[in-house]
Structure 1
Amino acid sequence: MFTKKTCFSILLIAVMLVTSILAGCSGNADQTTTGQQGNSAAKRTVKHELGTLEFTTPPKRIVVLDMYLLDIATALGIQPVGVAQEELNNKSLPGYLKSRVTNSFTWVGSRKEPSLEMIASLKPDLIVADLQRHKEAYPQLSKIAPTMVVKGSGGQDWKQIVKSLAIALNMPERGDQVIKQYEQKVAQAKTALSKAGTLKVLPITIYPKQKVRIYTADSFTGTVLQDMGLTVPFRADGQPFIETGAEKLADIKADQYLLLQSPAYTKGVDWKNTPVFKDLPAVKAGKVVPVQMETWSFYRGPLAAQVIADEAVKLLANKQAK
């Protein structure tokens, strides 16, 4: 027979055992909760110009509705299933992207008028659109797939798009790497251009009827040039450019002009005989270098920026400020 002391000992052991079991159960519950929090932490929230998107898995079927967005996507290693072309009659990739875009994608209309039907047929899980061009179409686009609307006209906008898209794809390190590669490229260009000193370089486009576009220090083109140590001597309240008459050029002192021209948009322009422009001191001194308008202004991404850096070194490395 058990004594009272023995019974008490057995009861005490039983209580301790139950307590240990309950503690173990409690420990498992905590681990489960932690696991759920880990899954919740895997959700990625991306704010864009017209809302917020949440991602739990990286999107794989991506449609981009402007060529500069293709530049950014390609820099991140994305191969979009759909791309909006520059113009309806121009189904071609920029030369510098041809070797990088390796998949068979579908043209989905022009960047000005993308085809909702063609986009929907691709069954995308992410659409990347431009605020200026696609704001009105956003409700319809967002019914097709999650739509990220971005602003890409400013000099630094592409970096934010890179970061946001990299977060959506769950590869933020790749986004950082893309920006770092750009920084390394412009740093190399800055060294190569150091002999040019404080060269004042003004990017412009001359259209028919003496209308000109003057790119500011806040534009994509202007920002890349400044990152290379050059001076862009014009600002306009944060705007990337202004369009005005050629007479405005006489008010801006420049040592060198970069003439952004294109057969598609400046056809028939005889810049050498354009009034006002042809009489400017730098123009008379031969300080005018024509460059491709699309690469230098339209394709506002990190890969185009690297092309600009390489071309700037070739064109300006031996130009000395006066």
Structure 2
Amino acid sequence: MNKFTAAGLLSALALSAAAAAISVKHERGTLDLKAPAQRVVGLEYSFLDTLIALGVRPVGGALGTQGGDRGAPPYLQPLTRNVTSIGSRAQPNLEAILAVKPDLILADAFVHRDLYPQLARLAPTAAFQSRRGSYEDVMQQVLDIGRLVGREAQARQLLRDQAQLLAKAQAFTNRKAPPVVMAVVTEQSVTLHSTESFVGSLIEKLGRKNAVKPQGAQTQYEVTLEGLAALNPATLVLFTGADERPIVREWAKHPLWQKMTAVKRGRVYEFDRDLWTRARGPIALKQMLAQTINSGLLQDRAPTAAYAFRE
């Protein structure tokens, strides 16, 4: 081989390596990888959902219940049976993460903001706004994660599929319907989701107006019964846990509750909190969009039996 041929080969190899290199902007800067990641740890359910939708099996995931976490949503459990649990979203175990030898960690920019420096020392780490992100944020993450794992073409197809599903759901929307108030409900609290939250921005994307605006930097914030009654929603959407007795069961006995327009109109809907507010990836979104239609929410019809508020 003469020097010219060797030089050409080296040049071709260099170009090939450069083509394989990846650079993705995230909440903590820009992550540069020399090649697509193959061993990925996801510290949020939306990341695990996205990876699986892309055809990538995570080597580790935040699937535990430490720190009061409820564990993976039911729909995600069968899809993550072969994924090693590395603790919970609230309390990921650094030793467990190191043991699965990741070449990429996907972290939540809000939940893991203090832990990020330690995670970045274990492996290249990208932080995205999942827990406090909007619908658009999550869609961008699908593309960014696809690029990081060398599945950009698949990611773009997922986004096209999602756009088609969104358009089909929008066709059912009664755009003259009054604004919606959406809230996550636990046994102790009711948290409103504004136009900048995930579910709050999704409902607007579907054509229903969200009556709740952010409070400063807070896209989600708690409200009392009196505060909710002051908003007097014409449509009220509640996200509750199937294994809990949410506080609104008690609120429903109060005269303030009975006076709300949504109650009088029979437009109080109840959805599964595990699916709607803890998942957020492409797989979960298919189920969520179907439920917005089947429940009657988009059409502003009285909720069907499966989604009617249970007093």
Matches of 1:72 and 1:111, distance apart in 2:
16
Paired position in structure 2 for 1:20: none
Q: CA shift at 1:42, angstroms?
A: 2.3
8 Å Cα contact 1:198/1:229 also seen in 2: no
Give the percent of matched residue pairs that are identical in Structure 1 and Structure 2: 28
Match of 1:242 in 2: 221
Q: Secondary structure at the match of 1:129?
A: strand
Q: Could you tell me which residue of structure 1 aligns to residue 116 of structure 2?
A: 138
Q: Which residue among 238, 241, 258 is the counterpart of 1:259? A: 238
2-structure distance, mates of 1:266, 1:132: 28
State the distance in 1 between where 2:145 and 2:169 align: 27
Distance 1:48 1:199, change over 3 A: same
- Which residue number in structure 2 is paired with residue 319 of structure 1? 300
Q: Does 1:306 align with 2:306?
A: no
Q: What amino acid is aligned across from residue 312 of structure 1 in structure 2?
A: T
Shift, 1:222, TM fit:
1.6
SS, match of residue 207 in structure 2: coil
Pairwise CA distance, 1:261: 1.3
Paired amino acid for 1:39: A
For the residues of structure 2 that align with 1:195 and 1:285, how far apart are their CA atoms?
16
Is 2:225 aligned against 1:282?
Answer: no
* 8 Å contact from structure 1 (residues 282, 288) kept in 2: yes
Give the direction of change, closer, same or farther, for the CA distance of 1:78–1:274 in structure 2 (3 Å limit): farther
Q: Which residues in structure 2 correspond to 1:33-72 (within 5 Å)?
A: 33=11, 35-72=13-50
What is the TM-score with the length of structure 2 in the denominator? 0.83
Contact 1:46 1:53 in 2 (8 A): yes
User: Structure 2: which amino acid aligns with 1:261?
Assistant: T
Paired AA for residue 115 in structure 2: A
RMSD over aligned Cα atoms: 2.8
The CA distance in 2 between the partners of 1:275 and 1:205, in whole Å, is: 21
- 1:173 paired residue number: 153
Confirm or deny: 8 A CA contact 1:213 1:243 kept in the other structure. Answer: yes
Aligned to 2:308: none
Indicate conservation of the 8 Å contact 2:143/2:155, yes or no: yes
Q: 1:217 aligns with which of 195, 202, 209?
A: 195
Partner amino acid for 2:181?
L
Q: Aligned equivalents of 1:91 and 1:250: distance in 2?
A: 29
Aligned counterparts of 1:274 and 1:132: Cα–Cα separation in 2: 36
Q: TM-score, normalised by structure 1?
A: 0.81
Q: What does residue 184 of structure 2 align with?
A: 205
Provide the C-alpha distance between the structure 2 equivalents of 1:46 and 1:185, rounded to a whole number of angstroms: 27
Query: Do the aligned residues in 2 keep the contact of 1:67 with 1:86 (CA within 8 Å)?
Result: no
Aligned AA (1:231): K
Matched residue SS, 1:133: coil
Closer, same or farther in 2 for the Cα pair 1:59/1:300, shift >3 Å?
same
Whether the 8 Å CA contact 2:175–2:207 is kept in 1: the answer is: no
Q: 1:261 to 1:86 in 2, by over 3 A?
A: farther
- Measured after TM superposition, the shift of residue 114 of structure 1 is 0.8
Task: Give the alignment of 1:90-109 within 5 angstroms.
Answer: 93-101=72-80, 104-109=82-87
- The CA deviation string for residues 182-205 of structure 1, in whole angstroms up to 9 with x for no partner, is 1111111111x2346434222113
Q: Is the 8 A contact 2:186 2:241 kept in 1?
A: no
Distance 1:135 1:80, change over 3 A: same
1:159 corresponds to:
139
Number of residue pairs the alignment of both structures matches: 295
Is the 1:202–1:232 Cα contact (8 Å) retained in structure 2?
yes
Say if 2:54 and 2:151, in contact at 8 Å, map to a contact too. no
Deviation at 1:80, TM superposition (A): 0.8
What is the CA distance between 1:34 and its match in structure 2?
5.3
Q: Is the aligned partner of 1:150 residue 2:135?
A: no
Q: In structure 2, how many angstroms separate the alpha carbons of the residues matched to 1:272 and 1:185?
A: 35
Report the Cα distance in structure 1 between the residues aligned to 2:60 and 2:17, rounded to whole angstroms: 31
Work out the CA distance in 1 between the residues paired with 2:76 and 2:38.
20
Partner Cα distance (2:279, 2:270) in 1? 17
Runs of 5+ unmatched residues, structure 2: 303-311
